[in-house]
Chain A
């Protein structure tokens, strides 16, 4: 990318708050139910129905706000955002316009070893819309169906300042935001289920220029990867356009996952006039300071605190601690292991190495895996007492990951026990020495490296199951004796 230009990015993140019921009615928010089974006259916009605010939503919004270092408003209100769409039952969305519940917060990210503070302009509560189900594509479908299960599910929209300067930073911010919200316990943040969604505002400007360039808004960013790729693409597109003497048009674009490009959706002129005005069905909300302080007092451990704890208590590096504290489930797994196996660095290595490898390969979250922290602890202890080698342990781990079986059982079933029986090993060693007189000569004449070859031969004979330390010791004993 042309380095004469600077990319400026701001993100608008929609996160689903994980209350049991919807924001303005008592319907369940459970994901994945049969279409239109979690609806009532209120969330399907029937005549005469009125919203009643779910206080848990406000509590979660405050908790999220505090976790994001925001000010919590003493007075806020709800507004109607008007537009027609078949999945929006009232033809207006209840949202917050000029008086959001949270503002002026920040998140700290670290990219390439550099720390950076990303401002959060505001975070506000709103209701989600339903969704349309098409037969085939939206343009070819003979008819569309409306599923209102999601209508009225509480959302928090978090708007960042235009402080991000690269796709990488945007991704880091998004990941940090996700981990904070997960730790705060306010959302499941599952991008694939749509409980974490993101729109990106992207512009470019010549380095050193103060004014922002014309921005475009990219929608439909359903994964961290899509976010990164779309921003990279869009920044490149804008720079190339400017270099070709074209002007950037303010517009809404969509990310085409298949073609890996952004495409124009609608121009600024076509943009909706949402005609926001205060919702007369909901009295303004006063939030007492006592309530805010109570929520602050009961705030769960947040990633920054957890990271500090891991570095101070276990001496983990900042990098390792960052990865371990990516999600609360991941940290809980680590904490549970360390309770019974105090060598934290080893636990961290196995989690960041093998565990992550298989999680990524299988596209799984840690709470979906089949084995428990106790399994990993047992495996690590088996390495320590010499039952298996570190190399064998990787095989055990894979099996453990795939089947959830206890490491002892896997070792038994696969006959993987390390041969630590001196008697059995002696016979093999004698054999190896007999078959390699030349190498033995070399060793005796001072070529100490020859020992390695002999160890290798013994390991080969035992199919890797010999305890290498023991083989070493025994071999040396033999050779020195002769």
Chain B
């Protein structure tokens, strides 16, 4: 078995026992990237020189952090000091931050080895990574298909064994959906659990940084590094961070699992429903109590999301005006023209669509009917979940209504937005959610979504781990071919 094929915790053991050096691990990973990157196109930037410096440093130092010597990569929305951070947009094509995002700093401090920055839908707006201004990323399970989005590069890189883990961001499903499409573990922690400082904002009240990994243990170990209150992010919450690996056992006897009937409705692929129902049976056989529940306001989540998220985005992305950094249209004759032509040329169509949507939703005369009403819906969705969580420990559903679709197949924005229908409510309620592999349809992975109580990622991880340890879905590897 090659080093790059292993999980992070397996490699950590080898490094600890001096059976491999950080340089060897990096060599293995770099060799893999060289071999497969052309096919999957996960990376926007590869930082090999910096990575080798760090790996050699790891080999020299006796002491080290919890992920010492482990190659990882970051979604290109997470700012990295001295390394360009593009958000896969022409607007920031040459933008080099002078600061590290808090999560980048934390991983660096624990001596992880950053090997590059990952492709995404421009400014995290999209569900296929086709909205990248540079190039689309391909799904390792079928190179003709999308990896999902917006954190598509983060998912494909882990699925294709290019790195051991990656970070992405999830505003409406942007971690869970690509994790599902790529057959790996993806977690969006509770809103406020992980600092957003230095992560370019899409919709501030919904954005959350999370992890992609090859298995649940790796996921828990990375969460241990990135979670916690950050004084620089006023929305991060000061709640104790447990050792997430302490939840990893397969004793789920008596765990109360709910499955919402609305999440198994029309529009969700029958095979996906079947796979998740089968997983629920599996849980039952392990001693869990499984019951159907109702989250009655689910159907309003998506329309409300597509008002709130664009509204916040319209303000968050207003700073890209060509004045201080990033792309500027130098042909403009005056300042007003410069603003508009910079933004007209710098942003892609989906970003512009959402900015216009959000601007409209906040406009005087429409605010109450759209934005304010959406906030009320958000409250109802939160209350739906709160009601269920009075009697249950976790909620399980499919992650996505379909498996990975073909590149170019979903060109209509509305169809594309439907991808988020099962994941968006979790962001609206600020809850933690994750996706783990639970089956295949025509050789393409199916993802199961696990939703937890606020700040109770532990129970969610426990359930995920129990399933993973008693099934083999996570062990199947993609062939990196066109099907």
The residues of A with any CB-CB pair to B shorter than 8 Å are 41, 44-53, 80, 82, 84, 86, 89-92, 144, 146, 273, 275-277, 280-283
Chain B residues, CB < 8 A from A46 = 97-99, 324-325
Q: Which of B79, B234, B315, B319 contacts A282 (CB 8 A)?
A: B234
Interface residues on B, range: 35 or more
Q: Is the CB of A277 within 8 A of B315?
A: yes
Interface string of B139-176 (1 = CB under 8 A from A): 00000000000000000000000000000000000000
Q: B318 to chain A: which residues have CB within 8 Å?
A: 82, 84, 90-92
A52 to B200, CA, bound (A): 16
Other A-B pairs, 10, CB within 8 Å; known A91-B321, A275-B314: A41-B99, A47-B92, A48-B198, A82-B318, A84-B321, A86-B321, A91-B315, A91-B318, A281-B235, A282-B235
Cα–Cα distance between A130 and B323 once the two chains are bound (Å): 13
Q: Which residues of A contact B312 (CB under 8 A)?
A: 277, 280
A82 and B234 form a contact (CB under 8 A)? no
B364 with A275: CB separation less than 8 A: yes
Are B371 and A277 closer than 8 Å at their CB atoms? yes
Given the contacts A50-B232, A275-B363, A90 and B201 also touching, CB distance less than 8 Å? no
Q: B363 near A47 (CB under 8 angstroms)?
A: no
- 17 A-B pairs, CB-CB below 8 angstroms? A46-B97, A47-B87, A47-B92, A47-B200, A47-B201, A47-B319, A82-B315, A84-B318, A89-B319, A89-B323, A91-B318, A91-B319, A275-B367, A276-B362, A280-B203, A281-B234, A282-B234
Q: Mark B195-214, 1 if CB is under 8 A from A, else 0.
A: 01111110111000000000
* Given A47-B200, A84-B318, A91-B319: A52 and B232 interface contact (C-beta under 8 Å): yes
In Å, the complex CA distance between A46 and B318 comes to 11
Question: In the complex, what's the smallest C-beta–C-beta distance from B376 to chain A, in angstroms?
Answer: 14
Q: Chain A residues near B79: list those with CB within 8 A.
A: 47-48
In the bound complex, residues from chain A placing their C-beta under 8 Å from that of B371 are 277
Known: A41-B98, A86-B335, A273-B363. A50 touches B324 (CB 8 A): no
CA A44 to CA B98, docked complex, whole Å: 12
B233 interfacial by beta-carbon distance below 8 Å: yes
For B375, the closest partner residue in chain A by CB is A278
Q: Does B311 reach chain A (CB closer than 8 Å)?
A: yes
Binding site for A on B (CB under 8 A): 78-79, 85, 87, 92, 95, 97-99, 101, 196-201, 203-205, 231-235, 311-312, 314-315, 318-321, 323-325, 335-336, 339, 359, 362-364, 367, 371
Tell me what chain A mostly uses at the interface: helix, strand, loop, or mixed: loop
| Shortest beta-carbon distance from B317 to chain A in Å | 9
Residues of B within 8 A of A144 (CB): 335
B323 touches A48 (CB 8 A): no
Q: State A49–B95 Cα separation when bound (angstroms).
A: 14
Please give, as numbers and ranges, the residues of chain B lying within 8 Å of A280 by CB-CB distance. 203-205, 235, 312
Kindly provide the distance from the CB of A266 to the nearest chain B CB, expressed in whole angstroms: 13
Bound-complex Cα distance A277 to B360 (A): 13
Q: Which 10 A-B pairs have the closest CB atoms?
A: A91-B318, A280-B205, A280-B204, A275-B362, A47-B200, A48-B198, A45-B319, A48-B200, A90-B319, A48-B79
The residue of chain B having its C-beta at the shortest distance from the C-beta of A82 within the complex is B315
Which residue of chain A has its CB nearest to the CB of B317? A91
Partner of B362, one of A44, A52, A86, A277: A277
CB pair B235–A86 under 8 Å, yes or no, is no
Residue of B200, B205, B321 most packed against chain A (CB within 10 A): B321
Q: Is the CB of B196 within 8 A of A50?
A: yes
**Least Cβ distance of B37 to chain A in Å?**
26
* CB-defined contacts of B232 to chain A, threshold 8 Å: 50, 52
